[in-house]
Amino acid sequence: MNYQKVALSAGLYFVGVPIGTARDITLRALDVLASADVLAAEDTRSLRRLMDIHGVPLAGRPLVALHDHSKDSVIQRLLAQVREGSSVAYASEAGMPLIADPGFELSRAASAADLPQTCAPGPSAALTALVLAGLPTDAFHFAGFLPNAKAARRSALEGLRDIPATLVFYESPKRVAAMLADARDVLGTARQGAMCRELTKKFEEVQRGTLDDLATALDEKPVKGEIVVLIDRNRSETVSLDRVEDDLRQALAAMTMRDAVDMVAKAHDLPRRQVYQQALTLTKGPPG
């Protein structure tokens, strides 16, 4: 038996569960799942499956669904059970609850009501990817999922451009090619990045390279599975606008606007869009 039945005091127990390999669960997480009076889960079926794998019986205890679309009454009922003296364990479908997953409303409501809560921590895809990406871990910014719509995604990336930290994103295999192409255009071709796929699973893979390398590779060969994208902080020297303007003037005198913008953007590792705006201002005067 991998777990122990323990006496849990009344309170909320957030439980981290594996992100792939079932044996990544901690012994304490199993103890909590085996001992809590009430179980709540983002996906009740996947929690049942995990408990079955580890031989933890439900033994007639209530198992309640709590996800992003649950009514507030579900949270209130769980909190009422804690007030009445019960221990309530909550797990999301994979990894840590609240990390790009439900659980925040529950934690916030418990905090507001000053009820006891703790966490039996487990793996999270973001931290696992940071360990493997080969990018600095002294500071990182978890940006979760970017918006699906292209314009909103690009504008979100622009907002993240100068954060002095490794950027961490969750992404779906369907959208990762478009996301990396936008990241290359907005953040610059030469920035280092990594794509971590299927972590802790059979087909775990880490691809490292510039954003240009990663976007090109994905264009040529789409990927499947679960993905974390990491992007290094901006390391390009700050070039003065005057320097870029001088180079643009010279280039515009010798070639088309398109070629001039491409050349100068590449030379200074600047986003093409920014250099294009500068070229427009030079040729047509400031907007308005």
The 3-class secondary structure across 34-62, one letter per residue, is: HHCCEEEECCHHHHHHHHHHCCCCCCCCC
Among 30, 31, 39, 101, binds ligand SAM (CB under 6 A): 101
Q: Is 19 in the site for ligand SAM (CB under 6 A)?
A: yes
Q: Is 247 exposed, middle or buried (0-12, 13-18, 19+ CB in 10 A)?
A: middle
Size of the site for ligand SAM (CB under 6 A): 24
Among 3, 20, 29, 167, binds ligand SAM (CB under 6 A): 20
Q: Which residues contact 260 (CB under 8 A, 6 or more apart)?
A: 248, 251, 252, 254, 279
Residues 278/272, Cβ–Cβ less than 8 Å: no
Q: Choose between 110 and 228: whose C-beta lies nearer to ligand SAM.
A: 228
Q: Is 218 in the site for ligand SAM (CB under 6 A)?
A: no
Q: Which residue is nearest to ligand SAM (CB)?
A: 95
Bridge partners, 90 (sequence order): 14, 40
Among 32, 88, 99, 106, binds ligand SAM (CB under 6 A): 99
Q: Is 126 in the site for ligand SAM (CB under 6 A)?
A: yes
**Residues 164-203 within binding reach of ligand SAM (CB under 6 A):** 170-172, 196-201
Question: Which tokens hold the place of 84?
Answer: 């009445």
Q: Is 226 in the site for ligand SAM (CB under 6 A)?
A: yes
Q: Is 140 in the site for ligand SAM (CB under 6 A)?
A: no
Q: How far is the CB of 203 from ligand SAM (least distance, A)?
A: 10
Q: Choose between 207 and 234: whose C-beta lies nearer to ligand SAM.
A: 207
Q: Choose between 171 and 232: whose C-beta lies nearer to ligand SAM.
A: 171
Q: How far is the CB of 86 from ligand SAM (least distance, A)?
A: 25
Residues 156/179, Cβ–Cβ less than 8 Å: no
Q: Is 40 in the site for ligand SAM (CB under 6 A)?
A: no
Q: Choose between 124 and 189: whose C-beta lies nearer to ligand SAM.
A: 124
Q: How far is the CB of 220 from ligand SAM (least distance, A)?
A: 21
> Which parts of the chain fold into alpha helices (H)?
27-35, 44-53, 72-83, 104-112, 125-132, 150-160, 176-187, 211-220, 241-254, 257-268, 272-284
Stretch that binds ligand SAM, among 24-32, 51-59, 88-96, 106-114 (CB under 6 A): 88-96
Stretch that binds ligand SAM, among 57-65, 74-82, 121-129, 132-140 (CB under 6 A): 121-129
Alpha-carbon distance of 267 to 196, in angstroms, equals 29
Q: Is 35 in the site for ligand SAM (CB under 6 A)?
A: no
Stretch that binds ligand SAM, among 24-32, 57-65, 119-127, 234-242 (CB under 6 A): 119-127
Q: Is 124 in the site for ligand SAM (CB under 6 A)?
A: yes
Of 262, 268, 288, 266, which is closest to residue 279 (Cα–Cα)? 262
Cα three-residue angle 85-87-88, rounded to 5 degrees: 125
Q: Which residues contact 133 (CB under 8 A, 6 or more apart)?
A: 166, 194, 196, 206, 208, 230
Residues forming the site for ligand SAM (CB under 6 A): 19-20, 92, 94-96, 99-101, 124-126, 170-172, 196-201, 226-228
